[in-house]
Amino acid sequence: QVQLVESGGGLVQAGGSLRLSCAASGRAFSSLAMGWFRQAPGKEREFVAAITWSGNTYYADSVKGRFTISRDNAKNTVYLQMSSLQPEDTAVYYCAAPGRTLQLVTTPGGMHSWGKGTLVTVSS
């Protein structure tokens, strides 16, 4: 199981930007697909973005064109660059990994390892 620690959340005005980071432990990081999810108050956890071991990226329609996921395998870190933030982006953002290498998962139930989350608040 990989250990994940998110950072970079905070308060930002609408239209602003933030970059989230997720530091991962474990030697298999470069072979893992990684995902970002978010959960707003009173709502279910939802998929935001994912990046495969080879760098292919996938996004929820709600963030496409505004968010960018990337990874640095030398640093065992995955990033989520968020731009043009809107109040509806307010949520706790979680980094997650599946239980096996070379496996792409984009549903919360399919993820095996989770960070504790970082809060992003977008004010109007």
Tens digit of each residue's pLDDT, the chain (124 residues):
899 999 999 999 999 999 999 999 977 999 999 999 999 999 999 999 999 999 999 999 999 999 999 999 999 999 999 999 999 999 999 999 999 999 999 999 999 999 999 999 999 9
pLDDT value of position 87? 97
Ramachandran region of residue 73, left (φ > 0), alpha (ψ -120 to 50) or beta? alpha
Confidence at residue 1, expressed as pLDDT on a 0 to 100 scale: 80
Query: Rounded distance, CA 50 to CA 1, Å?
Result: 18
The pLDDT value given to residue 27: 76
